[in-house]
């Protein structure tokens, strides 16, 4: 053990030294920085992945190299636990400590992690690795592999995968009944469920059309969706911003469309056609369209959540099972969506802090937990008991034929959903199944409720840690006096709200504002931005 730690320290110092005194922090999305800052980070995360696998008794962990919706010149890394969830909080702290350790102290810190977690170093270690399409990803992937092998860890390099695909194969490897741990297994599971659901709805459609357009953000999602198209026959998708000419996430992608509230560059947007955008690693999805007056309409994660909630509530009613359903939202959720879900659908809404780990953890408390951040990142999770009860209906002699058919449909829906993490590809197929089932156009979907006008802004700050929040990030507690100032500004508008929260990956504070008109929302956001600048 000591010899291997010494080998890792020597290799790290020689090939992947830490050359900067800058402190990096493992945030909600792992580490993200300019790619030039990350070689030593990748190597050390490879080391940490080995120790994480050992503490999990040799179960496979995932290591994904991506910076999601960040610019092309950035990159990042995050670990995926054997159960496909994000890294535990305690290990986020260990990751931060390991990455910021001096070159000559690496062995000592590795040993402290081993001892403090009572890790049996003789256990095997298994790591699945993948990368996105950034030009820097290949070299950084090799650095991570060198970290794994320097501690004699076993690894499988999947090369190019979306982040959700890596979560999928890790979960399948550790829980074999979920699927086959390959990209092909992913395509087969999703496409079989999709085609089954589409074929079961035999009624002619008057509003829904099988044609749509997808903005691939010039990233990995475009590449992998093209591969999926070989498995799907009942949906015609034209992909643009597919990476052949454009720059990753530049004026395109889900984050651009959501924040700028306008269509991406890369294609002429046709009137009343259905469009969707992925982000750089294909874990976010938003829809949009242009109406007859050329007005832009965004259908974000809140719209997706309400659509999915209505569909699943209808299914629960058809199977006549007592299943506890919740929609989990963050403070970014549009107020109109919350009102619609609670008042129209009669489904309780729970608010948690921003971040997939908070949403996913809360969603798992219920038979059916639906979560989508407003940015388009989300999925649905089902309890083991709910799945068993639905499956039991199929073979039961005590239920109607209608219930049995609904139960079979329910099981196919569960197979279509990537429960491991938010997945733009899986979510898109789910939305298309629902619109097809309802025989809705994108305009019909949009009419479920009207969003309150809102605006999001970013504020560069010297230190994001100077901002602290509470109440699911809806109230600022530090710096002192900032929250009162925000409330004073908000009080000058009717039916308005605004909150701020620090980024988990960069020295930026995010501002959200909501009001009765877009002009008021814009003014409120800018006023709060000025307050942040003043207090920080």
Catalytic residues: 68
What is the four-CA torsion angle of 515, 521, 523, 529, rounded to 10 degrees? 110
DSSP assignment of 73-134 equals TEEEEEEE-TTSPBPPHHHHHHHHHHHTS-GGGHHHHHHHHHHHTT--TTS--EEEEEE-S-
**Contact, 307 vs 327, CB < 8 A?**
no
SS3 content of the chain, % helix, strand, coil (to 5): 45, 20, 35
Distances, alpha carbon 460 to alpha carbons 4, 529, 533, in Å: 42, 10, 8
CB proximity list for 392: less than 8 A, separation 6 or greater:
none
The DSSP 8-state label assigned to residue 363 in this structure reads H
- Report the first-to-last Cα separation within the chain, whole angstroms: 47
CB proximity list for 388: less than 8 A, separation 6 or greater:
none
* CB count in 10 Å sphere of residue 481: 12
Distances, alpha carbon 448 to alpha carbons 216, 334, 351, 445, in Å: 27, 13, 21, 6
Which residues pair with residue 276 across a beta bridge? Answer: 214, 287
Q: Which tokens in the block code for residue 97?
A: 């400590």
Q: Which tokens in the block code for residue 419?
A: 């429960």
For tokens 């000025």, name the residue. Answer: 530
**Cα separation of 276 and 270, whole Å?**
13
CB proximity list for 190: less than 8 A, separation 6 or greater:
228, 231, 415, 416, 418, 425, 426, 429
Least Cα distance to 273 among 213, 355, 317 occurs for 213
**Contact, 509 vs 461, CB < 8 A?**
yes
**Contact, 266 vs 241, CB < 8 A?**
yes
**Cα separation of 480 and 223, whole Å?**
48
Q: Work out whether strand 154-160 and strand 126-131 pair parallel, antiparallel, or are unpaired.
A: parallel
Half-sphere exposure of 396 (CA within 13 A, CB side): 19
* CB count in 10 Å sphere of residue 524: 26
The CA R_g of the chain, rounded to the nearest whole Å, is 23
């Amino acid at each position: 053990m000591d010899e291997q730690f010494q080998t890792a320290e020597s290799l790290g110092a020689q090939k992947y030294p830490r050359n900067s005194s800058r402190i990096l922090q493992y945030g909600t999305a792992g580490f993200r920085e300019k790619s030039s800052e990350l070689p030593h980070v990748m190597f050390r995360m490879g080391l940490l992945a080995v120790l994480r696998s050992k503490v999990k008794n040799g179960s496979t962990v995932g290591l994904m190299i991506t910076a999601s919706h960040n610019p092309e010149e950035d990159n990042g890394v995050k670990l995926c636990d054997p159960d496909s969830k994000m890294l535990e909080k305690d290990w986020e702290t260990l990751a931060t400590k390991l990455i910021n350790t001096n070159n000559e102290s690496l062995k000592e810190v590795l040993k402290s992690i081993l001892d403090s977690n009572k890790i049996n170093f003789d256990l095997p270690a298994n790591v699945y690795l993948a990368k996105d399409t950034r030009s820097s990803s290949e070299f950084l992937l090799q650095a991570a592999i060198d970290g794994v092998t320097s501690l004699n860890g076993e690894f499988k390099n999947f090369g190019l995968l979306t982040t959700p695909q890596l979560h999928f194969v890790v979960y399948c490897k550790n829980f074999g009944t979920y699927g086959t741990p390959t990209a092909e297994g992913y395509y087969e599971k999703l496409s079989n469920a999709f085609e089954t659901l589409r074929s079961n709805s035999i009624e002619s459609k008057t509003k829904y059309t099988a044609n749509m357009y997808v903005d691939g953000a010039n990233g990995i999602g475009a590449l992998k969706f093209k591969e999926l198209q070989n498995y799907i026959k009942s949906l015609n998708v034209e992909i643009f911003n597919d990476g052949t000419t454009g720059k990753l996430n530049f004026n395109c992608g889900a984050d651009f469309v959501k924040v700028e509230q306008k269509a991406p560059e890369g294609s002429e947007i046709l009137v009343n056609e259905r469009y969707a955008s992925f982000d750089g690693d294909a874990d976010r999805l938003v829809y949009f369209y242009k109406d007859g007056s050329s007005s832009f309409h965004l259908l974000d994660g809140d719209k997706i959540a309400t659509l999915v909630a209505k569909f699943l509530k209808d299914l629960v009613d058809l199977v006549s099972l007592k299943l506890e359903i919740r929609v989990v939202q963050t403070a970014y959720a549009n107020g109109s969506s919350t009102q619609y879900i609670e008042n129209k659908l009669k489904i309780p809404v729970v608010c948690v802090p921003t971040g997939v780990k908070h949403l996913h953890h809360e969603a798992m408390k219920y038979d059916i937990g639906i979560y989508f951040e407003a940015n388009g990142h989300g999925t649905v999770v089902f309890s083991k008991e709910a799945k068993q009860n639905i499956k039991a209906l199929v073979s039961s002699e005590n239920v109607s034929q209608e219930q049995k058919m609904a139960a079979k449909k329910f099981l196919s829906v569960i197979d279509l959903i990537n429960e491991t993490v938010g997945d733009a590809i899986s979510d898109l197929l789910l939305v298309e199944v629902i619109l097809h089932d309802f025989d809705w156009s994108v305009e019909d979907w949009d009419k479920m409720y009207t969003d309150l006008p809102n605006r999001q802004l970013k504020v560069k700050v010297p230190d994001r840690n100077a901002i602290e929040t509470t109440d699911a990030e809806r109230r600022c507690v530090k710096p002192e006096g900032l929250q009162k100032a925000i409330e004073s500004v908000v009080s000058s508008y009717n039916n308005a709200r605004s909150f701020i929260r620090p980024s988990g990956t960069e020295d930026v504070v995010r501002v959200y504002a909501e009001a009765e008109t877009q002009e008021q929302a814009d003014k409120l956001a800018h006023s709060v931005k000025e307050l942040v600048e003043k207090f920080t």
